[in-house]
Amino acid sequence: MEVINPMKFCPECNNLLYPREDKERKILLNACRTCNYTEAAENNCVYRNELRCISAPPVVLRDAYADPTLPRVKGFKCPICTHPKVAFFVANPMESLARTYACCNPSCGHNWRDEDENRG
């Protein structure tokens, strides 16, 4: 079985080579979009991978409280354990900019969203 490596890189500038049609010679080329390097493609198959956005519930991190890079909110308390430190992040910015809050109490770990009515 032949293994085809679909990714090729420019020997001049190391950027990705993309398929391009040479209409005059009727051949497929691998071309660099940065330095205009071209080479004849070894294979005439071009694969297209279309990604579609699938709506899914936001992923809530159970241990978000331990992430030191997440900002903390002052004056907010966890609605479950009333712990005074709460971290926040945007779980899925492609769908909503609503904040997801995470209690910084390791034994609690409660998470809730901006649109929830039970904010502390």
* pLDDT tens sequence across 7-18: 889 999 999 999
The domains of the chain are located at 1-50, 64-113
What is 1-50's CATH topology? N-terminal domain of TfIIb (2.20.25)
Among the listed residues 41, 82, 36, 87, the one whose alpha carbon sits nearest the alpha carbon of residue 62: 87
Percent of the chain predicted with pLDDT > 90: 25
Q: In CATH, which of 3.40.50.720, 3.30.950.10, 3.30.565.10, 2.20.25.10 is domain 64-113?
A: 2.20.25.10
Instruction: Please compute, for residue 118, the number of CA atoms within 13 A of its CA located in the half-sphere on the CB side.
Output: 8
| CA–centroid distance for 92 within its chain | 10
pTM: 0.44
